[in-house]
Amino acid sequence: MTSYIWRNTDGDENGTTKIGTRTAAGSDVIAFTATNTTDGKHIHQTEFDVVIAIGDNEKPQGNVNELQDVNVDSATWVITGSVESPKTNAVFQLVKKWLFDGKTDDVYTKGRFGLEMDDITAYNCNPTGTGAATEQPRGYILSNWKWIKDGETNGKVSFIATLRFNGDEGVTPTYSWTVNH
């Protein structure tokens, strides 16, 4: 079982590479495996947090304020894992490039990052851009990546990555933003 984080680039937005985007991304992808393989990139814990925005309508000198559901405020993944062989693993350079490059561009206006989790597929997202008239722009934005050197543990570095969903949720059917559409 494998999970992926990748970054789309121009040319992937025409709708023809939806399923294969992470493959088409070539070197712009990180594959995390559940087994102890030589690639040395593993996910240990995932958290997905959907925050609902609540409007607070004040009632001065009245009873409890009226609350109003104003829909989704944010949808955020926090992924904790580890990368082996920090001196030679290309993932360190790739993450640095991702963090300093633009998280959106003129095609992927809502986010260039895709996510495919092997065990929680409902929130997988393949970024869509402005390539096809029927596409609703959406994607993840890589908002934070923290590297952690655990004491004297040689040959492995832990990380905490944060990705936030941005864009249209979908209309037919609602929440149609899985990787398989």
Domain boundaries, the chain: 2-51+66-167
Summarize pLDDT for 152-169 with one digit per residue, the tens: 778 889 999 999 999 876
Rounded Cα gap, residues 44 and 34, in angstroms:
9
pLDDT at 92 over 50: yes
pLDDT at 91 over 50: yes
- pLDDT of res. 10: 61
pLDDT at 141 over 70: yes
Rounded to whole angstroms, what are the CA distances from 165 to 22, 87, 107, 124?
A: 17, 31, 16, 10
Of the candidate ranges 20-29, 77-86, 117-126, 138-147, the one whose mean pLDDT is the lowest: 20-29
Summarize pLDDT for 3-52 with one digit per residue, the tens: 889 888 765 544 433 444 455 445 788 888 766 555 688 888 999 998 98
pLDDT at 171 over 60: no
- pLDDT of res. 93: 93
pLDDT greater at residue 105 or residue 181: 105
> What pTM does this model have?
0.81
Residue 58, helix vs strand vs coil:
coil
Q: Which spans in the chain are helix H? A: 21-24, 91-100
- pLDDT of res. 26: 59
- pLDDT of res. 153: 77
pLDDT at 143 over 90: yes
